[in-house]
Amino acid sequence: MALNKKQYLQITLFLIGILIIFLTYFTTFKKKGDPLEVSDVKKIENKELDESVDDLNSFEDVEYRGIANGNRYVIGSRYANFTNEMPNLINMKNVECIFYLNGGDLYIVSDEGIYNNVTNDMEFTKNVKVNYLENVLFSERVNFKNEENELMVEGNVISEGPEGKLRADRMDFDLNSKKLKISMYNYDKVNIKVNLQ
C-alpha cells in the first residue's frame, strides 16, 4: 500500500506533534527524586508560613470569667490569640486578672500570659505584679494551678507590705490550707525585713 503525499505529510506532522509533546513533558517537569531548586524551597516555605498564619486566631480586648475552686475570677488582656491545634490555650499580652477571695481581692498584672480555658490554669510572665490587701509582690512568673488550688510565684520574688519586705526565689501559696512556703534555690536564707510597730 503506497502512501500519497497528503497521507505522508499527515503522518509526519502527527509524529512531530508526539515528539514535541514528549520533549515538552520530560524537559519541563521534574522526575520524582530530583533535588528541589531554591525557588521550589521558597514556594514551600511561603506555603507553610501562609498555613501557620491561617492557623492563628487573634483578638483584642478579651475577657474570661469563671469560678476556680469556689472563687470567682476575671482574666483579660489587650491582645490574645490561639491556634486551631490548641484552641484551649489562649496566649495573652497586657494581662490583668482578679481573684475574688474571701479575705480580699487578689490582683495580678503582667506583660504576657497563658490561660487554659478548659482547666482554668493560668500563667503570668514578664513584669508580674501581684496586689493583695496592702501587700505588693513582684516576680518573673506566677502560675495558678486550678486543680491543686495553688499559686506559685517564681523568679526574683520581692514582696513589700506593712509588715516588712521579703526577697526569695520562690513562693508557693496553698489556697486551700492558706499556707505559704518560701524557698531559695541556692540554699541561702530567705531575706526578710520586718517592720516593728
Q: What is the pLDDT of residues 12-69, one digit of tens each?
A: 777 777 767 656 655 544 444 444 444 444 454 454 444 445 578 888 999 999 888 8
Domains and CATH numbers, the chain: 55-194 (2.60.450.10)
pLDDT at 25: 56
pLDDT at 165: 83
Considering only 70-74, 131-135, 176-180, which range has the smallest mean pLDDT? 176-180
Q: What is the mean pLDDT of residues 123-138?
A: 91
For residues 151 and 142, the answer to whether their CB atoms sit within 8 Å is yes
Tell me how far apart the alpha carbons of residues 163 and 143 are, in angstroms, rounded to a whole number. 25
Where b means 16+ CB within 10 Å and e means fewer, 110-134 reads bebbbbeeeebbbbbbeebebebee
Share of the chain above pLDDT 90, in %: 28
**pTM across the whole model:** 0.66
pLDDT at 11: 75
Q: What is the dihedral of CA 24, 28, 29, 35, to 10 degrees?
A: 150
